[in-house]
Amino acid sequence: MSLINASSLSFATVPSENDHKLNKADLDLTLDRYTDMLTTCPKDKGWVSENLYMYKGFWHFNFSYGVFSLEAMMSMQDTFQAQPTDIYLITLPKSGTTWIKALAYAIVNRERYKNNTLSSHPLLTYNPHKCVPFLESEVFGKTSVYVDGCLSRLFATHIPYSSLPKSILDSGCRIVYMCRNPKDVLVSLFHFTNKLRDKSRCRMAFDEAFEMFSKGVMPYGPYWDHVKAYYNFSLKHPNNILFLTYEDMKENTVNKVKLLAEFLGCAFTKEEEARGVVDEIVRLCSFKKLSEVNKHGDFSEGVPNDAFFREGKVGDWRSHLTNEMTKVLNQITKEKFHGLDISFEVGALVRN
């Protein structure tokens, strides 16, 4: 959930600061007709934003959060035309969005950088969020990233299954869904929120974050409903959706990167494997490398690049949650995921 204000959008295959300038008047006109709907939506306290609004069972930002607003999502539902060759990376905030963007981008564009051993790669200069646009940024202008040598477009989104533009589900395109242990999502979102809260708002206490997360109030949450809907979709359409967990990706990075490449239609050749291309991509997209590259500078106003790189570990929740909190979240997860083969235990996942 990179909180991009409308005025700071800038995306392209090889990003440049002036690639995309938003025309605010046009934007207002496009989204105005959806704003009235917001007044009828249930409202609750937000994390980074003042409030969140419920639409079709999920919590959303309002217009001031540009790309991530409910209005932008509604506009997408009405207008977006998916293509069967598209690729969508779908996550809940703090579930590995930045990482999966980097990996997918590096995999599908690897031909372009093969002759100089990745040394001039955009990921060595730009935040992965600049390399792969959020789907909703289409509302703000043409931002498509075309994958090398083919017509595939690469997008990311946090939109819940029930609100995805219908054409995405009908087109038979490829979807990669990545989820993460809810307890680590909570901890990550808590820290991200406090990093981004400006001086006018006091720091959030962990107790408060826990309360909100447990009752489902987080951007694009409830957590469990988001994951469950995509999981069920993946059972029905195993060829169209690759269901991954952050934990499994951490544990088996090389194997999962190979699987991801295969799913994206560009499996690594034996020759590439022998040349060490897979390992090189894993290193390029590693927490260590990306957090070094993004140590300084701002991604957008009020959002430093380093806000997307904190610990990058599995199980950091252990140093934040009390036993009582752990019990509550485990119980909710058990009930909500009852009958589903989803596990965040390292080495335990399931399918693929």
- How many other C-beta atoms can be found within 10 angstroms of the C-beta atom of residue 186? 23
15 or 96: whose CB is closer to ligand PAP?
Answer: 96
Strands 43-45 and 174-179: unpaired
With contacts defined by CB under 6 A, name the span among 9-17, 136-144, 260-268, 306-314 that binds ligand PAP: 306-314
**Least separation in angstroms between CB 294 and ligand PAP:** 9
87 or 90: whose CB is closer to ligand PAP?
Answer: 90
Strands 303-304 and 174-179: unpaired
167 or 208: whose CB is closer to ligand PAP?
Answer: 208
- Our finding on whether 226 is near ligand PAP (CB under 6 A) is no
Strand-pair partners of 304: 298
191 annotated active-site? no
With 0-12 CB in 10 A as exposed, 13-18 as middle and 19+ as buried, what is 322? exposed
With contacts defined by CB under 6 A, name the span among 90-98, 114-122, 200-208, 266-274 that binds ligand PAP: 90-98
- Our finding on whether 245 is near ligand PAP (CB under 6 A) is no
Residue 11: which of 134, 157, 175, 153 has the closest Cα?
A: 134
Residue 189 DSSP one-character state:
H
| Interface positions, 95-134, toward ligand PAP (CB under 6 A) | 95-99
Residue 325: which of 203, 180, 186 has the closest Cα?
A: 186
**Least separation in angstroms between CB 180 and ligand PAP:** 8
158, 191, 237, 320: which is the annotated catalytic residue?
158
Count Cα neighbours of 238 within 13 Å in the Cβ-side half-sphere: 3
| Interface positions, 167-186, toward ligand PAP (CB under 6 A) | 184
- Our finding on whether 55 is near ligand PAP (CB under 6 A) is no
Judged by CB under 6 A, the number of residues near ligand PAP is 23
Residue 68 DSSP one-character state:
G
Among residues 134, 177, 309, 344, the one that binds ligand PAP under rule CB under 6 A: 309
**Least separation in angstroms between CB 133 and ligand PAP:** 13
Chain centre to alpha carbon of residue 319: 24
191 or 228: whose CB is closer to ligand PAP?
Answer: 191
Chain centre to alpha carbon of residue 181: 15
28 or 298: whose CB is closer to ligand PAP?
Answer: 298
- Our finding on whether 286 is near ligand PAP (CB under 6 A) is yes
- Our finding on whether 308 is near ligand PAP (CB under 6 A) is yes
- How many other C-beta atoms can be found within 10 angstroms of the C-beta atom of residue 38? 18
With contacts defined by CB under 6 A, name the span among 58-66, 81-89, 133-141, 281-289 that binds ligand PAP: 281-289
**Least separation in angstroms between CB 129 and ligand PAP:** 6
Unique residue bearing structure tokens 């997209």: 285
- Our finding on whether 219 is near ligand PAP (CB under 6 A) is no
- Our finding on whether 312 is near ligand PAP (CB under 6 A) is yes
Strand-pair partners of 153: 146
* Gap between the Cα atoms of 218 and 228, Å rounded: 16
Q: Is the N-terminal amide bond of 222 cis, ω within 30° of 0?
A: yes
174 or 191: whose CB is closer to ligand PAP?
Answer: 191
- Our finding on whether 251 is near ligand PAP (CB under 6 A) is no
Q: How far is CA 192 from CA 97, 119, 219, 289, 304, in A?
A: 14, 30, 12, 20, 11
Query: Under the phi-then-psi rule, with left for phi > 0, alpha for psi from -120 to 50, and beta for the rest, what region is 214?
Result: alpha
- Our finding on whether 287 is near ligand PAP (CB under 6 A) is yes
With 0-12 CB in 10 A as exposed, 13-18 as middle and 19+ as buried, what is 272? middle
Positions in the binding site for ligand PAP (CB under 6 A): 1-2, 91, 93-99, 184, 188, 191, 285-287, 290, 308-312, 316
The catalytic site residues sit at 158
